[in-house]
Amino acid sequence: MDIKSDIIDIYKGLQQTFRRMKGDSQNAYWKILDAQEHFFKKNSDLSPSFIEESRQLLKAALRKFEYAAMVDEQLHTIREVRSLRVNPHLQKFYSIPPEGENEFPFLDELLFDQALFIWRSFLDFYMKYLVYFSTNEYVVNMNLKNFSKAMGGCEVNSKAKTIYDFFQNHLFNEETLARNWGNILRSFRDKTAHNKLLTVTMKGVETRTGQTVIEPTTQGQELSFFVQNTFENNAFAMFQELMPILYEVEWIPGPYKPGMYVGRE
């Protein structure tokens, strides 16, 4: 019975994380898909095979985005629970589980490692989609070299070249290596995949209610905030900035509404 209870508890945690992730990401998910469909309706000369392949590639990339966002939710949860444990005002209202033996910082490192792999995979999936959508070229195994080969030599001011320039300026600029989030992601992921375990720095962090907890950090930030600020927020900004380039409509803030791009050209 104890084993079954543990299994059910683990599942409930995954289920709750999934619901939170969906609540945060579904507006962006549907806006992007709707914008692409609006583009297809405006460009009736596009072949059915191109349309269907574009749909599948975009859905795959957005699914990877959701995978990564779900891991980010788990990272935030671990950090938040630590702040709840030391909050004297909550002890009589919540049964907060104590820290398990040797779980710190193992759980943080595990999820951080996983986040790096999924965010890197998301970029490859999204670049694969961008190449196909803007050049009609299907690249089987996507990486930065193949992305640059397919997009870098395209005509100036073309959709493909504009997207390539965006990636060069914001993600993979060699002249500003340490400040471009794509380069940061590749560096972290490649090191943990091939060379050594991640290194985190333990740091005292003040909670919202004034207590201090020890948190695993990197580059001066708690791991959950580092992942969100460096990867998730920038990926979301990328969706917004590429929307007019890809689909010829501007990103519309607020909740998703079916048909929201009609008449917005």
> So what's the pLDDT on residue 91?
73
Helices and strands of the chain, counted as H and E runs: 8, 3
pLDDT band at 148 (very low <50, low <70, confident <90, very high): very high
Q: What is the pLDDT of residue 206?
A: 92
Q: Where are the domains of the chain?
A: 2-247
- Could you give the C-alpha distances from 205 to 95, 98, 218, 222, in angstroms and in order? 23, 19, 13, 8
Does residue 206 come out as left (phi exceeding 0), alpha (psi in the -120 to 50 range) or beta?
Answer: beta
- Taking only the tens place, the pLDDT of each residue in 207-244 is 988 999 999 999 999 999 999 999 999 999 999 999 99
pTM above 0.85, yes or no: yes
Q: By mean pLDDT, which of 92-101, 134-143, 179-188, 201-210 is the weakest?
A: 92-101
Among all chains, which residue has been given the structure tokens 């898909």? Answer: 33
Q: Tell me, what's the pLDDT at 3?
A: 82
Instruction: Report helix, strand or coil for 213.
Output: strand
Q: What is the pLDDT of residue 173?
A: 80
Of residues 3 and 220, the one with the higher pLDDT is 220
AA identity, residue 207? T
For the chain, give the percent of residues with pLDDT over 90. Answer: 82
Q: What is the pLDDT of residues 56-83, one digit of tens each?
A: 999 999 999 999 999 999 999 999 999 9
Amino acid at residue number 160:
A
* Separation of alpha carbons 60 and 47, rounded Å: 20
In contact, 188 and 221? CB cutoff 8 Å:
no
The neighbouring-strand residues paired with 215 are 203
Q: How far apart are CA 191 and CA 179, in angstroms?
A: 18
